[in-house]
Copies of this chain bind each other. A is one copy, B any other.
Amino acid sequence: MTDDTQRTRQSPTADELRIWRGFIETAQALNARLASRLHEESALSPGDYSVLLALSEADGRRLRSSELADAVGWERSRLSHHIRRMEGRELIRRDDCAVDYRGAEVVLTDHGAQAFRSASVPHLRAVRELFIDALSPGQLDEVERFTAALSARLTPKN
Which chain B residues border A10 with CB–CB below 8 Å?
A: 125, 128
> Mostly helix, strand, loop or mixed at chain A's interface?
helix
- Which B residues are CB-close (under 8 A) to A31? 24, 28
Q: Does A152 reach chain B (CB closer than 8 Å)?
A: yes
A97: Cβ under 8 A from any B Cβ: no
Chain A interface residue number, banded = 35 or more
Copies of this chain, tallied across the complex: 2
- Neighbouring B residues of A142 by C-beta, 8 Å: 139, 142, 146
Decide: B20 and A151 in contact? CB cutoff 8 A.
Answer: no
Q: With A and B bound together, what is the CA distance between A12 and B119 in angstroms?
A: 15
A132 within 8 A of B: yes
